[in-house]
Amino acid sequence: MIKALVIFVHIVVSIALIVIVLLQKGKGASIGSVFGGSSQTLFGATGGTTFMHKITVASAVIFMITCLMLAFMFGRMPTKSIMSGVGNQPIQSTLPASPEAPSANVPAPPAANPGPAPAPSK
């Protein structure tokens, strides 16, 4: 029950966060703002914190908390190994119990290499 509630809140906050960020207007991200030429005021060109900024921060915090909760809840699930119970079974051998003598019609191994061949004379 609690997992379903956290998943539901996480999905709702995710969608809300996307919509809230898309509704905000840009803050003058021109090339002049990279070098600090956009504004010299304490809070920037828009003034203090707006209502949309506060909602964005609150939804981001809720999103991070639900991410951590979901990772904690689903990260500690018991796992089953595919190797469980393997050591309990007896090992069955496919080899014969005693080695057999080689049969008489098996050819003999080739003779040992007598060494390198002599170099041709000139």
pLDDT digits (tens, 9 = 90+) for 83-106: 776 776 666 667 666 666 656 676
For the segment 22-73, what is each residue's pLDDT rounded down to a tens digit? 888 776 554 545 555 544 455 555 556 788 889 999 999 999 999 999 999 8
Phi and psi at residue 68, to the nearest 5°:
-65, -40
What integer pLDDT is reported at residue 83 of this predicted model? 75
What integer pLDDT is reported at residue 1 of this predicted model? 86
Between CA 66 and CA 10 the distance in angstroms is 6
As a whole number of Å, the CA-based R_g of the chain is 38
What integer pLDDT is reported at residue 118 of this predicted model? 73
The closest of 14, 3, 1, 17 to 70, measured between CA atoms, is 3
Between CA 51 and CA 94 the distance in angstroms is 76
For the segment 106-115, what is each residue's pLDDT rounded down to a tens digit? 666 666 666 6
What integer pLDDT is reported at residue 24 of this predicted model? 82
Between CA 114 and CA 5 the distance in angstroms is 84
pTM over 0.75: no
For residue 107, the one-letter residue type is P
- Residue partners of 39: CB distance under 8 A and separation at least 6: 45
What integer pLDDT is reported at residue 56 of this predicted model? 92
Domain boundaries defined on the chain: 1-25+49-75
Q: Please report which confidence band the pLDDT of residue 121 belongs to, taking 50, 70 and 90 as the band edges.
A: confident
